[in-house]
Amino acid sequence: MTVDIDIDIGNTRSKWSIASGSNNVVVGVTAKPIAVVASEIAANLAEHGMDAAAVSRIRVACVRSQQEKDALASALHGAFAVAAEFAQTTAEAGGVINSYPQPHTMGVDRWSAIAAAARLMRAHAEPRPFCIVDAGSAVTLDFVSAAGVHCGGYITPGYYLQLKALLAGTQKVMAGEQASVELIAPGSNTSDAVHVGIAASIVAHIERSVAQFQMAQGSPPRVFITGGDAELLQGLSSLPMLYRPHLVLSGLAQLLP
């Protein structure tokens, strides 16, 4: 049986799914350099008793430079003898009309997540607006009306970019690198105050933005959340959000059917 590979290359992490037929066999993730992604996937295949020669298709959503894309394409071809297909942001996909006058300037990861969420909405026959929160290196919010029109979005620094910027720009503010926020409440030490403050600012941004969108649309949107910090933020917000960790990967089937 043939094997298909979908890959999501983000700014910090790379994720992939390996599917045989209609069943996902394995989902992997690595924070290692993009240069070793092909070998990491090949190792996953071997672990599950699959031959690299069985790979028939590779689809990729990549937000890196063209040089890195070219290197990745070469490595994937060397590992699997298959030419990788790189998704692009388009004016329309999955029944959604892009609001960008120049669609190619929108990150393909955002567009892929939008297409995946639109498919989920259609599957549940929900003609209502929706929002996607992608909490990765950057926190992105994208809004789509019930009519399937992209209504724009926001891009802000993610949790660890905010933490890195704060610690680099101050001399006496110190905090641990790992988030351990369980409740948004004033911290009783500097490290807690830093982590709670960052989390609170991101959650407040999400909640206010969704509330404004709801007012503009006249009905509550369905909110999807994905990305490395999704579970943390979902647990801190009072806003109902559906956690879909592989939204970008899922959208590749809509962008490259």
Residue for token digits 């992490």?
13
- State how far the Cα of 129 lies from the Cα of 117, in Å rounded to an integer: 11
Return the closest-CA partner of residue 58 out of 34, 82, 40. Answer: 82
Return the closest-CA partner of residue 138 out of 64, 60, 229. Answer: 229
CB 1 within 8 A of CB 54: yes
Name the amino acid, one letter, at 257: P
Angle at 183 between CA 180 and CA 189, to 5 degrees: 60
Return the closest-CA partner of residue 108 out of 78, 133, 88, 131. Answer: 88
The residues, any chain, with a CB within 8 Å of residue 177's CB and separated by 6 or more, are 160, 163
Q: Could you please report the per-residue DSSP string of 159-206? A: HHHHHHHHHHT-SS----SS----S-S--SSHHHHHHHHHHHHHHHHH
Q: Is 229 marked active-site?
A: no
38: tokens are 């092909």
Return the closest-CA partner of residue 29 out of 44, 51, 49, 45. Answer: 44
Catalytic residue among 4, 6, 8, 109: 109
Residues known to be catalytic: 109
